[in-house]
Amino acid sequence: MSEAYTSNIISLRETSPDNWQAKYQGNFGVYNIRIHTDGKRRGDFSCSCPSGYYPCKHIPVVEEAIARRIEQNAEVESVFGMSVEGLLEKLTRKELFDFTLGLLRNDPDLTNAAFIAFSDKIERENGNEPPRRKRRGIKPHCE
Ligand SMILES: [Zn+2]
């Protein structure tokens, strides 16, 4: 069994509190990994790789990257003496809008994640058909 490396992680994102999604460049393509964790304890997880091992080798590697990410975020918060939540609460709607727009315009994956997260806000342009839930956008993982 070959090693798995954090350097093969293409993207890592906390999509909602404690829910992480990663893309990993493996020998058989890009694997989609989801892990529910607070950085200490592992909850539900999945990986789209063809490995017969459970959990496969990608789960601990992604967990290591998550732990590092949480640590880095804590370091930044300690430098500025404020939590990210505290900062967000101080922003005006306009500041938040402009900053978020800049992020979304530069990251199609993040834009897709936003449409999926807020799919209940999408209304159809024409007709009375109700918005379809969880169907718009490209699903960020395959199962
Ligand atoms: Zn795997």
The pTM for the full model equals 0.71
Calculate how far, in angstroms, residue 31's C-alpha sits from the geometric centre of ligand 1. 7
pLDDT digits (tens, 9 = 90+) for 109-134: 889 888 988 999 988 765 555 555 55
- The domain limits of the chain are 6-82, 91-143
Calculate how far, in angstroms, residue 47's C-alpha sits from the geometric centre of ligand 1. 5
Calculate how far, in angstroms, residue 97's C-alpha sits from the geometric centre of ligand 1. 37
pLDDT digits (tens, 9 = 90+) for 26-73: 999 999 999 999 988 999 999 999 999 999 999 999 999 999 999 999
Output the DSSP codes for 32-82: EEEEEESSSSEEEEEE-S---SSS-THHHHHHHHHHHHHHHHHHHHHHHTS
